[in-house]
Structure 1
Amino acid sequence: MTIPPLLGTLETALYADDLDAARMFWTDIMGLEEIVSVPGRHVFFRTVDQPRPQVLLVFNPEATEVPPKADADQPVPPHGARGPGHACLAVAPEALDRWRAHLENHGIGIEADFLWPNGRRSLYFRDPAGNSIELADPAIWAPKGVPST
C-alpha cells in the first residue's frame, strides 16, 4: 500500500500560561492576525493565508490537559506541553536584517543569528512564554543547489 500524500503543515502549537502576553506579542510585535480565542484556553493566529492557510495555535497547557466532556461538540483529545517549545517562521532572506532591528527596537533579545552550513540564515529569540522562536530563510531546508526564493 502506498502512503497517502501530505499537503504540508496546517497548524503549529505553542503553549503559554499567560495568553494575554502571548496575544500582545504575536499581534503587536510579530504582526499576526488573531483569528479566534477562548479566554483562559487558547488564542489562534493566522500566519499565512494563501495558497493554503497556516495558523499558530497558542494554548494554555493547564486548560488543554483536561479531557473533553463526554457530550463535547468538539472532542479534541487532551494535549499540552510544559517548558519551552520551538517554532520557526519563514522569512525572505533580505528581510532578516529588518526583522532583527524590529525585534531589538521592541526590547526582544536575539539569542542567535548565524548562517547554516548551506549559507542560509536564522535568527533566534524568545516569546513571552519562553518558547524558542526562529525566523529563517526557507531555503535552509532546500535541497543542495536549489536557490533561495
Structure 2
Amino acid sequence: MDRPRIAGILETAVYVDDMAVAHAFYADCLGLKRMVAGERLYAYDAGPGQALLVFHRGHTGDDVETPGGTVPGHDTTGRSHFAFRIDVEQLQPWRDYLARSGVEITSEVVWPAGGTSVYFNDPDGNVLELAAPPLWPNFLA
C-alpha cells in the first residue's frame, strides 16, 4: 500500500501559564503577528503557511465543541521546544537583538552539516531555537 505524502508541519505549540506575558514575549519581543486571541489559545503567524499556537496551560485538557466538529483536548507539563528558521546572515543581528532585549542565550550549537542553532527560553521556560542552515539534510537554504 502506498503511503500518502506529508507536506510539512503546519503548526507547532507551546503551553504557557500567563497568556499576557506570553503575548508580550512572542508579539512584542519576537515580533510575531497574533492571528487569533482566545481564552485558551493565541495563534501567531510564524511564516508563510505556518502557525505558532500558544495554549494556556491547564485550560486545554477538555474537548472543545465547535460548529465544525470536536477539537480533542490536549495539554502538557514541563518545557517544550521548537525552532524558528532564520537566514545565516541573521545570526549576529539576532544575538545582538536578544542581548538588547534582555533575553539570555542559553546555548549555541554549530552542527556537523555547518548550520548554527541559538537557544533561549521564553518566560515559561520553553526552549526556543533560531536555526540557520544547513541543519538537516532537507533544510533548504
Q: Same fold (TM over 0.5)?
A: yes
1:60 aligns with 2:59: no
Structure 2 letter corresponding to 1:46? D
Higher strand share: 2
Q: How much is the aligned-residue C-alpha RMSD, in angstroms? A: 1.5
Q: Deviations over 1:87-137 (max 9, x none)?
A: 101000110110011011010000011211222101000001110000011
Which residue matches 1:97? 92
Percent identical: 36
1:19 aligns with 2:23: no
Distance, in Å, in 1 between the alignment partners of 2:122 and 2:92 is 19
Unaligned runs of 5+ in 2: none
Unaligned runs of 5+ in 1: none
> Normalising by the residue count of structure 1, what TM-score does the alignment of the two structures yield?
0.88
Q: Is the 8 A contact 2:114 2:134 kept in 1?
A: no
Q: Deviations over 1:53-112 (max 9, x none)?
A: 10000001211012335xx43411010111100010100011011001101101000001
Runs of 4+ in 1 over 4 A off after TM superposition: none
Which residue matches 2:128? 133
The alpha carbon displacement at 1:3 in A equals 0.4
Q: Is the 8 A contact 2:113 2:136 kept in 1?
A: no
Q: How many positions carry a matched residue from both structures?
A: 140
Q: 1:78 to 1:60 in 2, by over 3 A?
A: same
Higher helix share: 1
